[in-house]
Structure 1
């Protein structure tokens, strides 16, 4: 009995302790008395007979066949007791629940008929019920179900074998008695310390922080105003949108201890209670840089082709602006041109942020171009260190020629006499004088106009455009690539002109500027130690581009692999 109680969970032990105590003092002694009375030959028996199916045989109430919870044990004992009071349908019983109850009935009758000084008061229904529960528990209810071999061995055991069975172990020493209940672990647990935990609140439509703070965060109205006053940006808590969320912790009294809200994935604020005040700290998250290689081919517009590789819109915009300094997509790109883009992003909690182009390689029918970002100055260069902003000459010719008409947006036209902007600079020079390109670029247009005469338009690598009017003869064609100082035309006197001269224009951001005083880019190519450092940085990037393996890569690992091969 004690071994069974010792094996039960603490909750069941506490529930059964008063029951076991009562039954031990009253019920167990009564059961032994009634059993002794039953053993006398003068006792008359009455049996409750329940018909059984063919092949069944009655037995004592035993629940050894299943691991039955305490609640089921009590239920089974109740059903057995009810069988003495009213009829229970046969289909509601199982073979192991059918018990000969005449023992209890006969014992009660015998005690009532022959009272003695030593006779105990008969058990009432409640005590009888408890006694049956304990008796059921004492039959090893919670042991493993018997195997067929075990049942077979029990059925053939002889009376002598059963009579000789005994035990020489002193269980009282091992288990103690009910006077010593230390095995039940009834010591009172110390009061647990309150540990505040983070909880998340999702903003509902129409919800405001001022009301929520008073209703859910335990703040008074004055505390709310004080907290908002300490925030670097009050709109973080006053301009909520449904679906936003913030984290918070409360103390044991339900008062705000900490509040954390992110403005975006990178930035946020942390509010912490310090006595009766609140301290506000900014949150800055730094992600882990991750590189990924994208590759595709031109089919239609370049922007759509780039987006088809998986590049986000920001990266496509940066890439387009970068390549436009060297490439005119409308005229120079061809279907089937291939490109590769190495993109670097910051990874924070599975989200990619602040994507930036590290390198791009374009292989086209009309131009091949490779550009790499220099992390030192954040500018792009060719792998040999040449800048995208090469030197730009002030004058588009060699030698010295007189400036015959300045740049003047309010000038009167010399022929018509009306106000007509003069968006260029005129140089008087003999017909047939060589005109040179002031910087590298590509010829965008060659044409003839009734007022401008023969003309040329060049788009340069730095994004500037230049125009040359009143030419006698162009020396280049549309789409030609020209270098700084290369001859592009011969001066003349075509179109609406008062004499031989060259009309020269510089256009920046689609607006004409004064070519004689506009700030022009200087040669920014790398050299010396800066060039050597750039080449070391570029080495693993070039390996990644040449591999052509799209997806997430490690630029540092690519560089190490190449060094190992070397």
Structure 2
């Protein structure tokens, strides 16, 4: 053997330098191919022996792109998180529906896509009515979803006189238009809180829809569950009257006196509510639940398909890959309604913001808040972790509006805003007309 090696070495050294380089490179490539794809030959068989390796389900999941979120394990139901009270029970039920007031820069696509509505449906809507490409500030969109989150109907309030409805059909969406022929009249309604605010408002003459509008307009200033008997309110509403009956209405302004303090919300031309000076009523939300933005390891996808089973396994939030122990922050002012350990979600926190918004934070290591605690935007509520059904350290973050999950990265969240310039001057002129009508009796 030694003689053979010496002979091979002598022959190699006798080659010219270019030939030695070529031979050496060929040898390296051959060895690399052999290591990369080993070939086992059995002399008694016409084909190579192939070994099949079975992976456990959990091992297989680690090879998938969305391994940070447990597949086919849904998050806790938001209905279980929300503490029921008389407002939830008595006010108009909004489950499965949503409404949105058009703001500057909005398009049909940007509004609906944040709620997980498929682009194919949005495209079909636009084909059914090209005017949908020309949404105006202050107009309102309302839509209804089925249990699977699929768009069934959309209503566009073009003006106080005209509304257009788009109903799903087998071929797309069918447009129907309605023109209102009634006369719009302003009405001022006064009331005194006696027990339930909802019942007190209805006793004063407000409809369920008007009660809901009042609650939304003041949701950032007032916790309606804590009103006291004897608190008073005045509501200015514009109603379309036809044959002596109200067909629809629009809230123009509200004043609520509680504990000797007045709270106002007055509607501007953009369809939003501001205080008497033209300042916004919300303190605004942060976009991310951490001090800085971390890598997204799994995106919002309400129709995500399990690549193993083929079943629909919605991912109702966004996963941020963060190191264990990273401070998790409340994105807005609110009240903690859940702070506990819960199965697949691990340690998690849910916060209610006003009456329409809820945020949830899951797979946490340490909880820093308790149910019933008030928090401000930016407050630390937990430290991130890897608890529950999780294959790696991350924060699962959800945003819900009217009990519907929306994309936290694209949703139009409340902002600290106010009116400026001509808009503010026009609004203040309107305030001077509205305030005298909101007398507390």
Q: What TM-score does the superposition give when structure 1 sets the normalisation length?
A: 0.39
Q: TM-score, normalised by structure 2?
A: 0.49
Which one has the bigger helix percentage? 1
The higher relative CO (CA closer than 8 Å, separation ≥ 6) is in 2
Greater percentage in strand? 2
